[in-house]
Structures are given as structure tokens and as C-alpha cells.
Amino acid sequence: MHDARPFIGILLMLGAGLCFAALDATSKYLSQTFPVPMLVWARYTVHMLLMVIFLAPSMRARLIATQRPVALTVRALMLVGTTGFSMAAFKIMPLAESTAFLFITPLIVVILASWLLKESVTAGRWIAIIAGFAGALLIARPGGALSTEGVILMSLAAACYSIYQVQTRQMSLTENTITMLFYTALTGTVVMSLAAPLYWGGPMPDAWQSLSIASLGILGGTGHLLLTRAFRHAPASTLSPFLYGQLIWAMLLGWLFYDHLPDLLSVAGMAVIAASSLSIALSERYKSGQASGVK
């Protein structure tokens, strides 16, 4: 159910996209000095501490109450993988093109859902999938802004994120959204803390760098909170187009802080990916509307 305040939902969605784009831009800046795994650790540890401080007093045991702790942990590991691979890619590649490459996730989700959840895939969706991957090839073409290593890293990030979304689809009907979010933060914190001896080191951050590192968790947690709140005010069919506002934010931040703008072929590829993913999202909404009798 939602509150039928679409304008508020759209603003929240745009705010979530800005948080995620700012998180990526900040991690790109920090990864030039600090190990990427340390930044992943900070992103989830600060996120977890914020949830403990602000939610644990009111939710108490409900914050961790679930009958599927193993499934939630596996799902969380997929998002940790997404974060790590994408941060490693942002270190060496431009923000906008890298962000666009991650948006092939909905296309992979359709393929995985067909295989794992036995969902049917129409001819129109196959066309959208093929078009979306063609858009990705435009971005990753030889001579473009993306390196082979970066493309591999973003492909791994997209694969992890696709599995994460399929698992989310499976569990969202029975699991509390806040509990799912907390398990993600908790798992990321525990796993990256246990692995700390393998990567910890490098220079000590100064005051500004410490604040920037802490902001990774704040931006990530705030972005997910705004995203969740957005769907309380407007349906997915209304909000889906504005999810791609993150691409605009990434392009703007990449220009402002890294003096980079995508070339025309890359912009065309980004537009094709966005259109393909959006068509799949809207067809999902139409299909669910038909199934429930909503026109």
C-alpha cells in the first residue's frame, strides 16, 4: 500500500539516487589512497551502527527476527560482493559509464528468474534484454572509456546484484524490510571485519578523510531508507523512470569532481540500457496489475 503522494515519492527516489551516486563518487576519491576492502568495511559498519543506534531501542528483537537467517546472510553476501566489485571498478573507471553498466542488472534478473523461479519470458522481454546488452557493448566497446579489467569488475558486480535482487523477490513476501536491511549491514560488517588482517594497512586518514569514510555508511543507509520510503508514496510504475536519475547524478558528479563527460556513443548506450530496463520494469507492473485485476 502507498499514500498516493507521488510527488513525494519521486523526490525521495531522486534523493536515493543522489545518495548512491555520491557514495560511488566518494569511494572513487577514497580508493585512490585506501584499500577498497577497508572502504567496504566502513560502508557496512557505519550503516550497522546507525541502525543499532536509531532502530534497536524501538524494534529490539524484531530487528533480527527471521526464520531464514541463512538465506538472508547469503543475500547480504551478494550485496557485499556488489559493493566491493563496483568500488574496485569505480577506482579505475569513470562514474557515469560504470554506473550505467550496473544497470544491466534488471536484464540479468529476468534471465535468472526464468531459470530459478520458472517465470515466463515474453518475446518483448527478450528483445529488451538483447537491446540492453547491446547498449552495454556500446559503452564497453574498444576505444571507449572502460578498461577490460573495469568491465570484468562491473560485470561481476552486476551478477552479484542480480542474484541479490532475485533473492529479495523471493523473501520480500515473508521477511520484514528493515530486518533484511539490518542483516545486510551486519553480514557486511562481520565478514569484512574477519577479513581485516588480509587488507588492513596504508596511511592513517586525516580528519576530512575520516569524515569521508564515515559518509560511505551514512550515504548507503540513507539511500536505502529513502528508496524504501519512496515506494510508500507511489507505485513502482510511477517511480521506475526516476530510478535512472542516478545516471544523471553520476554524470554530473563525474563532470564536477573528475572532469569527465561520456562521449556520444556511451550516452547512447546508457540510454538504451535505461530504456530496456525501464520497459521490463513497466511490463512487470502491467503483468501484476492484470493478475490482480487492476487496470
Closest Cα to residue 94, out of 294, 290, 258?
Answer: 258
Question: What does each of the 295 residues of the chain score in pLDDT, given as a tens digit?
Answer: 445 678 898 899 899 999 999 999 999 999 999 999 999 999 999 999 999 999 999 999 999 999 899 999 999 999 999 999 999 999 999 999 999 988 898 889 888 888 877 777 888 889 999 999 999 999 988 777 788 999 999 999 999 999 998 888 788 778 888 999 999 999 999 999 999 999 988 789 999 999 999 999 999 989 988 887 887 887 766 777 788 889 999 999 999 999 999 999 999 999 999 999 888 877 765 555 443 333 3
Q: Is the dihedral of CA 242, 46, 96, 110 positive or negative?
A: negative
Residue 33 in grid coordinates: 589512497
Report the alpha-carbon distance of residue 89 to residue 150 in Å, rounded.
5
CB of 93 within 8 A of CB of 140?
Answer: no
Q: How far apart are the first and last CA of the chain?
A: 16
Only one residue has cell 513525494, namely 8
Strand, helix or coil for residue 68: coil
Closest Cα to residue 18, out of 273, 210, 261, 242?
Answer: 242
Closest Cα to residue 183, out of 12, 55, 21?
Answer: 55
CB of 177 within 8 A of CB of 66?
Answer: no
CB of 179 within 8 A of CB of 65?
Answer: yes
The amino acid that residue 182 corresponds to is: F
CB of 287 within 8 A of CB of 118?
Answer: no
273: CB partners within 8 A, 6+ apart: 100, 101, 103, 104, 132, 135, 136, 139
Alpha helices in the chain (DSSP H): 6-30, 36-54, 56-59, 69-92, 95-102, 105-116, 123-139, 148-171, 177-194, 196-199, 207-233, 236-243, 245-258, 264-292
Report the alpha-carbon distance of residue 260 to residue 142 in Å, rounded.
18
30: CB partners within 8 A, 6+ apart: 39, 209, 212, 213, 216
The amino acid that residue 51 corresponds to is: M
CB of 178 within 8 A of CB of 65?
Answer: no
Can you give the length of the chain in residues? Answer: 295
